[in-house]
A and B are shown apart, each in its own frame.
Chain A
Amino acid sequence: MEASTLAITILWSLLFVYSILGSLDFGAGFWGMIYGKKEEKSAAQIANRFLSPTWEVTNVFLVIFVVSVVTFFPFATTLLGSVLLVPVALGILLLTIRTTFMVFQHHAGKYQDLLRLTSGFTGLIIPALLVSILPITLGGFVIFENDYPRLQYGELLTHPTLYMHILFGLSTELFISAMFLMDYAKEAEDWDAYDTFRKHSLWLGPISIAIAMLTIGTFPSEASWIVENIQQNWIAFGLSLLFFLIGYALLFVKKKDGHRGLARFAVIMIGLQYAVAIYAYGSAHLPYLIYPDLTIADGFTNPETFYQMLIVYAVGFGILIPAFILFWRLFLKDRRYLKQE
């Protein structure tokens, strides 16, 4: 494999990890808001219990992704930085408000309602902003004035594909988080919350798939290159759909204890669904970072530096594996944490 292809594969892997972790994080914030006030309080508790220890780690993965883009593809920073300045800056501004308010929520009891609303709404707006980067890369929204790239806000904001991408992002976020929290609730043996999140998974699943397919139909005319690539790669996308169908079907399996749904297997299947879809989409996006101005080969750093960075990644994640295992045991397995009052 060529070094730049390896680099972009790692980048898409990191994007996959962040899109899952981010969906869980933002989704949990949203569900926490929805159920915070109501009778079905345990659903909110489950969401918050997951969110408290994990948001920092999720946030680090966002930083890893950004730093990886910049360090693997330094020649892309000028174009990316100029074009994405406003959406990304607004995203991190809101992320800051969300992060701080979420933590403050635990320390200033009286203001819980305001703080919960903030973390719930930003849980929708931030993913919407982040996912709006995707259509920008497809082509047609960037022009050059005196050699300097500018994002065509008017074009972008009036194009239906932006809104379909946002809908796609939000439905995916809510589906993934509902599925995961369902499994998390099961681990905590909180069947009330389990039923709530299963119910949401049932309607969000088909909707997210339908929106994903419709979104491709709204791609701008400049994006015919990627649509062709997607059509050529139909096997991978079909495989992704298959994983979805299996995962979805598993939600209906009735178990001996009377509860419906093989939660853990279903979650794994949905994870596979998105992994396959992201890699397939990533390979259809090749060779461009931003069509038609920037290819991965244009942006790539020198291979020697890249291989040294790879060693850093290997050593870094190697050191962290025991920490991740400990983390998993304490917050995703330990009944004393999951079932506390």
Chain B
Amino acid sequence: MDIVVMARALFGTSLGFHIIYATIGVGLPVMIIIAEVLHFIKKDPDYALMAKRWTKGFAILLAVSIASGTIVGVMISLLFPDFMEIVGQVIALPFQMEIFAFLIEAVFMSIYLYAADRLPPTLRLVSIISVALGATASAILITDVHAWMNTPAGFNITPDGEITDVDTWAAFFNPSFGVTAMHVTLSAYTTVAFLIASIAALRLMRRKISSAERTYHKKALTIALYFGALMSLATAINGHDTAQMLHEYNPRKLAAAEGLFETQRYAPLSIGGYTSLEDQRVKYAIEIPYALSFLADDRFDTEVIGLNEFPEELWPPLYVHILFNVMVGIGTVLILVAFLALFWKHVLKREFPNWLLAILVVSGPLAMIAIEAGWCFSCIGRQPWTINQVLRTEDAATKSNSVGFLFYLFMTLYITLLFVTGFVMRYYFKHNPVREDLEARGV
């Protein structure tokens, strides 16, 4: 197969694999902080146990997260050397800062993992807060490079490809940095909240659990629901800003996301369906009149640019509409689920019925699918460019013919690791059930 396609496939799967663990790595320390703080305030040992058990899970996943992050960091230089040549001149700062954020996370994670029992409570809290700050800062800084690829700034390029007039801070604070960084952070927090909710709901669906266990899982579920409700709502509000950013700076991508061909005022929003090239519209979709114009710039008569304004070879693949819909659709479902569950708990004041628990069980995996769909949308929606309107992917990619063989090798690695992590998580938590921890405490 074509080397460029293989290079993209290799990097794409590497990133797609890393995203799973990285997202958890960003969100889970925040959940651990919440549990630690609740324990600090309420002196309820259940929260201490929660922090301890989540930390164990975090330690297992962090190993994969760090290893796959190393792969992605090295691989991008190997597979897209001409891209890194520009990155090194223009947007090197966030890359370097990211390492230090990563270093802070690594140092304090070791401290929190292996020295927690030797630390005074405040220092322990400082450690886990440093882990969370390091992880979130890492995510924000790497997202900065991603944002810059979508809305490049801070340099000029001559026709023969020479980079001039570099302004590193203009590149750092490129137009989409703020909204995109927020989007990545908030959606990671959301996802982890729902993953925790999934696990707690799964445990609560079991018939044979003791009342102490039930109380424990209910507390975990409550934290997850509150945090999840808040964060999913914040993600949606920020997602709206992201769409408006696209409208202003990257209309080609917005047009592809919405399957809009003709530039128009009062543009309708198409939900669902697939973009048909022959019919020049989204087929089998629910159309909401005027809604796209309104979303793009808060006015019904906003003119939204369509794909036909651009030559067809500069269109991203039309299926990005589906990816976009999957992301937005799941995001919406998550908000509804979280608020429904909270309504059930606080207004109806009733136990969760099994059907609601079952929905909660699937909410975590769904959130992760939304994350993947979102990243795929953002990266595929930028095609054929690696740096929007500056560098084409085919010009950035390596020409080495070893890429194909490496692709299959790394695919094997990722699939194996997915199974092995799942297995180790199961093995560990099966051999160290909550029940035993609670019994050890004499409950």
Report which A residues bind B (CB closer than 8 A): 52-54, 56-57, 59-60, 62-64, 66-68, 70-75, 77-78, 80-82, 84-86, 88-89, 92-93, 95-97, 99-100, 102-104, 107-110, 148, 150, 301-302, 304-305, 308-309, 312-313, 316-317, 319-320, 323-324, 326-327, 330-331, 334, 336-337
The 4 A-B pairs of least Cβ separation, nearest first, read: A74-B88, A316-B100, A103-B63, A81-B81
Count A-B pairs with CB separation below 8 Å: 211
Complex Cα gap A66–B78 (Å): 11
Write out the residue numbers on chain A whose beta carbons fall within 8 Å of the beta carbon of B400: 82, 85-86, 150
A96 cross-chain contacts in B, Cβ below 8 A: 64, 67-68, 70-71, 413, 417
Which B280-322 residues have C-beta < 8 A from chain A?
A: none
| B93 and A81 within 8 A (CB) | no
Given the interface pairs A60-B102, A70-B88, the reply to whether A82 lies near B64 with Cβ below 8 Å is: no
Do A77 and B104 have beta carbons less than 8 Å apart?
Answer: no
Q: How far is the CB of A120 from chain B (nearest CB, A)?
A: 17
Chain B, residues 394-418, CB within 8 Å of chain A (1/0): the string is 0000111011001001100100010
Residue B34 at the A interface, CB < 8 A?
no
Shortest Cβ distance from residue B393 to the other chain A in the assembled complex, whole angstroms: 15
In the bound complex, residues from chain A placing their C-beta under 8 Å from that of B64 are: 96, 100
Given the known A-B contacts A71-B88, A71-B96, A308-B93, are A89 and B118 also in contact in the complex, defined by CB atoms under 8 Å? no
B104: which A residues are within 8 A, CB to CB? Answer: 319-320, 323
Q: Among A53, A100, A301, which residue has the most Cβ atoms of chain B within 10 A?
A: A100
A-B contact pairs, 24 of them (CB 8 A): A53-B115, A59-B106, A60-B99, A60-B102, A63-B69, A64-B103, A70-B95, A77-B77, A77-B88, A82-B81, A82-B400, A86-B400, A88-B78, A96-B67, A96-B71, A104-B63, A109-B431, A305-B92, A319-B100, A323-B107, A323-B130, A324-B107, A330-B115, A331-B115
Please give the number of chain B residues whose Cβ is less than 8 angstroms from any Cβ of chain A in the complex: 67
Residues of B that sit less than 8 Å from A by CB = 56, 59-60, 62-64, 66-71, 73-75, 77-79, 81-82, 84-90, 92-93, 95-97, 99-100, 102-104, 106-111, 113-115, 118, 130, 166, 168, 398-400, 402-403, 406, 409-410, 413, 417, 420-421, 423-424, 427-428, 431
A152 to B: closest C-beta gap in Å = 13
A301 to B87, CA, bound (A): 10
Question: Which residues of chain B are near A308, meaning CB under 8 Å?
Answer: 93, 168
Enumerate chain B residues within 8 angstroms of A60, measured Cβ to Cβ.
99, 102-103, 106
Q: Is the interface of B mostly helix, strand, loop or mixed?
A: helix
Per the bound structure, the CA–CA distance linking A71 and B421 in Å amounts to 33
Chain B contacts for A72, CB-based, 8 A: 88
Rounded to whole Å, the gap between the CB of A293 and the closest CB of chain B is 14
Complex Cα–Cα for A108 and B63 (A): 14
